[in-house]
Amino acid sequence: MPNEGTVTAITAKRLTLALFAAGVIGGAVGTIAVEHKDAAAAAVATAPASPAPVAAAAAPVAGNPAGVALPDFTQIVAHNGPAVVNVRVVGTTKVSQRQMPQFDEDDPFFEFFRRFQPQQPHGGGGRGELVYGAGSGFIVSPDGVILTNAHVVRDADEVTVKLQDRREYRAKVLGSDPKTDVAVLKIDAKNLPVVPLGNTRNLQVGEWVLAIGSPYGLESTVTAGVVSAKGRNIDQNGVQFIQTDVAVNPGNSGGPLFNTRGEVVGINSQIYSQTGGYQGLSFAIPIDVAVRIKDQIVATGKVQHAKLGVGLQDVSQGFADAFKLQSPDGALVSNVERGSAADKAGLKAGDVIRKVNGQPLITGGDLSAIVSVAKPGDKLALDVWRDGKIVQMNATLANAKDKPDPSSRDNLAGGDNGAKLGLSLRPLDPSERNQSGIAAGLLVEDAGGAAAVAGVQPGDVVLAVNGKPVSSVGQVRDVVRKSAKSVALLVQRGDDKIFIPVPIG
């Protein structure tokens, strides 16, 4: 179904803070998922170069002696508005599978959903019903190539694009990438207005930006604000979103985000909300990511994503102290898939990747973002901090569709046996090793003091301390004795491996 809005319902009462897709399906608000990849350099037919952007003029503020001017977006709207489209979708879903929001009558959104959600058919038993959705998009090629969100057209049977001059076209979905939430549409038309595309590298926090779209079906609606932050990692898919305070609501999904030069710098995609409506935090997919996806789809009809094969964490100050780093920067490797690109490159749990292709990493999300826009086969030059020094490694990225080795999880060999940490530890017995699949490690029988505060729990298995595998209490003591402020414990908890920094008390 075109579930741009058929989300697992978000009632005002049971609502936890959530990210909702900024789109409408029969008026319903929807959640969203995301991912990506780099692209082959093809474009459709004879797509000419991007048009020259029209910049915003400065509008003086009355009574402001300092002469600080606010941007005047009228020229941008007049020039680029005709290239922003309304996207309507129709799909079919089974009643038995449908998940519609359930609201109490005193809920402020009860009347909204009652009026706009698709009507339940009589009977049931898995019969299909029509579901309607809506979103926004923008034309990037005069022969009818359009960018929008993948969640806008997900499961759509029919897609209709409506231009600002009221012309309507049946659209074909050339391709869709749920990981990055980018979709490419094509309509049969020529000499269409197009938007100029910018880049996010030059976008500054605090810079004015403008959104054009169809919130709640209100076509050609303009809202403005500033860039609140860049590089927001709000999901597990590697997209580093642009955060703004531009008012974005259901129906804005897939619409363009312009800078003051009249260039598209992002695709409006998600909002942070307790109600399903705008609450001050909006997120846009960087246009650089969207163009790479678009180019792949136009060239091949599909998108390939790369994979390094590591679990990553950010480097906190505690980790920096434990690994003797001068600053808490980099991507901490918590797990390596056996047989993966990372494994073949020689990476190990406990390594801290400081640079990729000469580019410094601040967080683990920075590395995820680099991999997310790369292609299988691309090579990465890694600067890795290991045992107090930088080691150079080279990795050739694999295809994200490749299945990991089921036995791949990098199982590191591994009274008062951890007093400074507040831990009671013992080696795993043979039956525990067989049952867990862990070759060696120390079972946490009790956690107190600094370790408990840091998050270590009874039942965890300590695999390594400061990147050194441990299988005996004596090994833990030796590492702790040589550490000044804190230690980094690599802990297995269920199927997950996580690093936990613990101050030494």
Catalytically active residues, by annotation: 151, 181, 253
With 0-12 CB in 10 A as exposed, 13-18 as middle and 19+ as buried, what is 498? middle
82: DSSP letter: G
Measuring CA to CA, which residue among 387, 314, 391 is closest to residue 345? 391
**What region, left, alpha or beta, does residue 109 occupy, with left being phi > 0 and alpha being psi -120 to 50 degrees?**
alpha
> Quick count: other Cβ atoms within 10 Å of Cβ 121?
11
Alpha carbons 287 and 289: distance in angstroms, whole number: 5
Alpha carbons 76 and 72: distance in angstroms, whole number: 9
Please say whether the beta carbons of 31 and 18 come within 8 A.
Answer: yes
Tokens for 436, please give them: 């867990």
Residue spans of alpha helices (H) in 20-67: none
Measuring CA to CA, which residue among 172, 169, 101, 85 is closest to residue 134? 85
Alpha carbons 95 and 126: distance in angstroms, whole number: 5
Q: What are phi and psi of 440, to 5 degrees?
A: -160, 150
Distance from first CA to last CA of the chain, Å, rounded? 56
